[in-house]
Amino acid sequence: MDTFEQLLTESTRIHGHICAGQVIGVRMAMAALERIGIGDPKGADRKKLYVLVEIDRCATDAIQSVTGCSLGKRSLRWLDFGVMAATFVNLDTGRAVRAVAREEARALSEGYCPDIVDKYQRQLEAYKVMPLEDLFVFQEVRVDIPAFDLPGRPIRRVQCARCGDWVQDCRERERDGLILCRSCDGERYYQLLDAPDTPVVVS
């Protein structure tokens, strides 16, 4: 694996700017990968690694950059928990570590870079040198990943009986004997503006 500075530079390039979240994400990923026995996440170990992130913030871009995992590869899963945490899973061994960023690190940063007045810049620089135990809590965990969430070809594809959309990877719902997509089952996040919302009956 590359050095911390190399990984931070690449993460910053992908994210678009450097910030404390980038430092947190890079260090979190490096430490967690070491704990689960992944040494080459983008090469020899790329098919062994699965990551679940619990927040959609800067650190998630850094974790993706370091691990090479992504939504498109189905090796990264986002859980909308709002916690600065991620779980790293070695699919070969089953070993998994959940890493949680410590809130106390914000206050502790003053002791590491007291001369930096701007708190965000101070945190950014302090997080680079703080001991891991001041930055994170690491928990050994077990993660049961359903087959339909793993990388690979879709397990099945079914058509929604109402709108006609095709649903992959067991995300469909059954209601009154009909197979429905989640939108037609009441979870639609959008409103149709240019077409009537008329059901499509799929035979």
pLDDT in tens, 133-186: 999 999 999 999 999 999 999 999 999 999 999 999 999 999 999 999 999 999
- Cα 162 to Cα 176: distance, rounded to the nearest angstrom: 12
Strand pairing report for 85-90 and 49-53? antiparallel
Q: pLDDT digits over 123-135, tens only?
A: 999 999 999 999 9
Neighbouring-strand partners of residue 137: 100
Residue 162 corresponds to which tokens in the numbers above? 């109402």
The domain made up of 4-147 has a fold known as 60s Ribosomal Protein L30; Chain: A; (3.30.1330)
In the chain the first and final C-alpha atoms are separated, in Å, by 53
* Domain boundary assignment for the chain: 4-147, 153-203
pTM score, two decimals?
Answer: 0.90
Task: Give the CA distances from residue 48 to residues 10, 11, 40, 182, in Å, rounded to whole numbers and listed in that order.
Answer: 22, 21, 10, 30
Helix or strand (DSSP H, E) at 140? strand 136-141
Query: 138 phi and psi, to 5 degrees?
Result: -110, 130
